[in-house]
Amino acid sequence: MIPPIDHPVWVQFVTGKKTIKSSRATFNMLVQNTKMEYERDASPANTRELISRSYKFFTQFESVFPSEIAQITG
């Protein structure tokens, strides 16, 4: 189950403090891109945008990334 968009884990995810291991290139590109964008602009507005994008990605592809989602919630 994906945590709600306002759950603190999403801030940890976009800032790179929540490490998630995956062998899937698509997922790893999302993680790297999100982290780089956060490092470039750590403003609250950009952080909210990155959380929104990440949340949308996970809800859209929930069935494709079950092990990655389990790491987010675990």
Whether pLDDT at 1 is above 90? no
pLDDT tens readout for residues 30-44: 999 999 999 999 999
Question: Quick one: three-class SS letters along the chain?
Answer: CCCCCCCCHHHHHHHCCCCCCCCCHHHHHHHHHHHHHHHHCCCHHHHHHHHHHHHHHHHHCCCCCHHHHHHHHC
Residue 74 has a pLDDT of 77
Question: Which is nearest to 56 in space by CA: 20, 14, 25?
Answer: 14
- Sketch the domain layout of the chain as residue ranges: 9-73
Q: What is the pLDDT of residues 42-73, one digit of tens each?
A: 999 999 999 999 999 999 999 999 999 999 88
Give the tokens for residue 29: 């590109």
pTM for the full predicted model: 0.90
Structure-token pair, residue 74: 């675990």
